[in-house]
Amino acid sequence: MRMSEIAIIGGTGLTSLKNLEIIRREMVRTPFGEPSGPLTFGTFSGHEIVFLARHGYGHTIPPHKVNYRANVWALQETGVKHIIAVAAVGGIAEDLMPARLAFPDQIIDYTWSRVNTFFEEGLSAVTHIDFTEPYCSELRDKMVAAARKANLDAVESGTYGATQGPRLETAAEINRLEQDGCTMVGMTGMPEATLARELEICYATCAVVANKAAGRAEGKITMEEIDACLTGGMEKVRTLLETVIPTL
């Protein structure tokens, strides 16, 4: 099997990575089933990385059906030490404008009935991982520095509220999330972050604001609006990745 230390998990809007020179694709089997698709190994800005499309390469797997355990396990099997998780979010705080990048530093988990641990069978002792700081600060700091260097005007902290989906939220739910302290909302941040921590992989999220969260802008949220904002946002993600990867 090919090995790589840096992984990018692409979310909605990033099912493939432009400028990735593909070396090979490999389907990895795990004790937890199959990942969302084959791992794509290649070079990006001269560095070897592995890419995985979270929702599958055809974007067909909804957030609550993603096999998060298989995805994270497969990446660890290939020697991955760092995961940059790219994720589309709705902006709750005023400064989280569509197409802006954000690097959350906290999470509140509102998901339910997702398998959220590797530590459930065949244990010699019950394990409780520390999750005070849910993201790897070393990787987060490097992304923040890279965004500054590339003049990307990113929001450098924030709290990611992880909702179950696949539907978007009600306006009242967004008000509740805001009262809880969430500045952005997405559907895939958990349990991905926990699972990476359980395997001691350095994991951080690069969020891309796709829309203003429910009730924060006039009218309905449409998929057309989300797609249009993500197209602009993903150009910034590519610049970010080109700047940060050489520093890892």
Q: Under the criterion CB under 6 A, does residue 86 sit at the interface with ligand HPA?
A: no
Nearest approach, Cβ of 134 to ligand HPA (angstroms)? 18
Q: Under the criterion CB under 6 A, does residue 211 sit at the interface with ligand HPA?
A: yes
Tokens in use for 203?
Answer: 């994991």
Contacts of ligand HPA in 139-178 (CB under 6 A): 163, 168-169
190 φψ region: left (φ > 0), alpha (ψ -120 to 50), beta (else): beta
Positive or negative, the CA dihedral 215, 218, 223, 226 is negative
| Closest residue by Cα to residue 63 from 160, 167, 215 | 167
- CB-nearer residue toward ligand HPA: 33 or 62: 62
Which range of residues in 74-82, 130-138, 205-213, 235-243 is near ligand HPA by CB under 6 A?
A: 205-213
CA distance 118 to 211: 33
In DSSP notation, 81-135 reads -EEEEEEEEEE-STT--TT-EE---EEEE---S----STTSS-SS------SS-S
Nearest approach, Cβ of 87 to ligand HPA (angstroms)? 8
- CB-nearer residue toward ligand HPA: 63 or 134: 63
CA distance 216 to 219: 9
Nearest approach, Cβ of 187 to ligand HPA (angstroms)? 5
Distances (CA, A) of 73 to 31, 34, 111, 197, 216: 9, 10, 21, 11, 37
CB closest to ligand HPA, residue no: 90
Backbone angles phi, psi at 3, to 5 degrees: -120, 150
* Near ligand HPA by CB under 6 A: residue from 185, 204, 237, 244: 185
- CB-nearer residue toward ligand HPA: 83 or 208: 208
Q: Under the criterion CB under 6 A, does residue 189 sit at the interface with ligand HPA?
A: no
Contacts of ligand HPA in 90-119 (CB under 6 A): 90
Contacts of ligand HPA in 10-29 (CB under 6 A): none
Under the rule (CB under 6 A), what is the footprint of ligand HPA?
A: 88-90, 163, 168-169, 185-187, 210-211, 213
